[in-house]
């Protein structure tokens, strides 16, 4: 029994100390232009979605869906989000390989409206996604969220209305 | 010895289960609208600096140390970095503070990195932060001028400050 406890504790402490030492000695890769291995990407995306789902449980969209909301959201999106997340027909301008911002026009999103709302307001830790609660009202965030979800399936009138005006 | 190994395996299994539950049930902290704790910030900053020290080139800035270099870097900084890292002579960037970890405010806090290290970070970015790699947007010589500017940003010659100031809007 004594040996069992000794083995348990030794391993426990080692598992905690080894990663901390690895980091502190500067062994960790820090470059943002090298992609993460796919197991890590999948694990983190899974854990992130689980955490967002948990946080967004009780949030509900109070706005009715309408073309006006989509147009308002689309204009904000082109102004504030498209640089990293891209738009239909135009790829993103800023490229971060680790963690990469999803290009919604290509991949859509598995997140529900409530989950997206929570992410826009609170941001995502240890990514380039900052917290936007102090820059947009709740109503504006809902408009954005609606646009993100429907980006690849916009009514033609909405698509025309959000195009930058040509002079 | 056998019991030691059984204990060791139990510890591994136990930690794996705890980790899987923590991640899978959504208990990981993901909100970016809090500041990292002092302990976390201290540890992660030290680890980042250790990694950069290991990997960044150890060399002097190949560009001549002149006002022209600082002006070139300053214009680039004002164009593309101020949004997150703050503008000289202005209050810290609100936007830079909305990331986790927050973007360092060079005009008020300066930087611990050498010019070569700043060059390397700007070129390659920093993973798991909002710092995107700039190597595809700027040439090496532009990034060296930027590194020179950032290392002097708290102590710029007045001629440089004047030259990079945006022209007054009409």
Distance CA A155, CA A142 (A): 18
A18 and A54 share a domain?
A: no
Residue B119 maps to which CATH number? 1.10.760.10
What is the complex's ipTM, to 2 decimals?
0.87
Q: Is A126 left (phi over 0), alpha (psi -120 to 50) or beta?
A: left
From the list B33, B126, B128, the residue facing A133 with the nearest CB is: B33
Residue B15 lies in a domain: no
How does DSSP assign B4-57, residue by residue? HHHHHHHHHHHHHHHHHHHHHTT-S---SSSPPPHHHHHHHHHHHHHHHHHHS-
CA angle A87, A92, A94 (to 5 degrees): 150
> Is A120 at the interface with chain B, CB within 8 A?
no
Between positions 129 and 158 of A, the ones with CB within 8 A of B are 129-135
Inter-chain touch B129–A32, beta carbons under 8 Å? yes
Domains of chain B: total: 1
C-alpha distance from A148 to closest chain B C-alpha (Å): 20
Structure tokens at A15: 């598992």
pLDDT digits (tens, 9 = 90+) for B71-107: 999 999 999 999 999 999 899 999 999 999 999 999 9
Cα A29 to chain centroid distance, Å, stands at: 22
A158 and A111 share a domain?
A: yes
pTM summary value: 0.90
From the list B3, B11, B44, the residue facing A12 with the nearest CB is: B11
**B19: closest chain A residue by CA:** A47
* Cβ within 8 Å of residue A49, ≥6 positions away: A110, A111, A115
State the virtual CA torsion across B53, B55, B57, B61 in degrees, nearest 10.
-60
> Going residue by residue through chain A (167 aa), what tens digit of pLDDT does each one get?
889 999 999 999 999 999 999 999 999 999 998 888 999 999 999 999 999 999 999 898 888 889 999 999 999 999 999 989 998 777 788 877 788 899 998 888 999 999 999 999 999 999 999 999 999 999 999 999 999 999 988 888 898 888 876 65
Query: What is the domain range of residue A11?
Result: 1-30
A157 and A81 share a domain?
A: yes
How does DSSP assign A39-101, residue by residue? HHHHHHHHHHHHHHHHHHTT----SPP-HHHHHHHHHHHHHHTHHHH-BTTB--SS--SSSPP
């Amino acid at each position: 029994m004594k040996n069992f406890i000794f083995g348990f504790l030794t391993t426990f402490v080692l598992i905690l100390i080894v990663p901390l030492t690895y980091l502190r000695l500067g062994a960790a890769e820090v470059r943002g232009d090298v992609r993460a291995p796919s197991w890590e990407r999948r694990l983190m995306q899974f854990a992130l979605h689980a955490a967002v789902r948990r946080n967004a449980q009780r949030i509900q969209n109070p706005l009715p869906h309408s073309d006006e909301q989509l147009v308002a959201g689309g204009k904000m999106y082109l102004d504030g989000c498209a640089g990293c997340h891209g738009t239909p027909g135009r790829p993103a301008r800023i490229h971060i390989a680790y963690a990469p911002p999803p290009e919604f026009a290509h991949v859509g999103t598995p997140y529900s409206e409530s989950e997206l709302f929570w992410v826009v307001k609170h941001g995502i830790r240890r990514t380039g996604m900052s917290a936007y609660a102090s820059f947009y009202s709740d109503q504006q965030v809902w408009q954005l969220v609606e646009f993100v979800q429907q980006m690849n399936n916009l009514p033609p009138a909405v698509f025309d209305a959000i195009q930058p005006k040509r002079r | 010895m056998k019991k030691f190994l059984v204990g060791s395996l139990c510890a591994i299994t136990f930690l794996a289960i705890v980790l899987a539950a923590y991640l899978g049930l959504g208990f990981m902290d993901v909100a970016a609208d809090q500041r990292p704790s002092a302990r976390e910030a201290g540890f992660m900053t030290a680890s980042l600096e250790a990694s950069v020290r290991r990997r960044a080139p150890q060399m002097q800035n190949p560009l001549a140390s002149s006002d022209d270099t600082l002006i070139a870097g300053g214009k680039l900084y004002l164009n593309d970095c101020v949004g997150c890292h703050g503008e000289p002579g202005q209050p810290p960037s609100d936007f830079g503070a909305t990331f986790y970890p927050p973007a360092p405010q060079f005009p008020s806090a300066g930087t611990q990195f050498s010019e070569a290290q700043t060059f390397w970070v700007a070129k390659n970015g920093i993973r798991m932060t909002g710092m995107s790699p700039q190597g595809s947007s700027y040439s090496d010589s532009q990034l060296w001028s930027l590194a020179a500017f950032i290392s002097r940003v708290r102590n710029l010659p007045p001629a440089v400050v004047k030259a990079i100031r945006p022209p007054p809007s009409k």
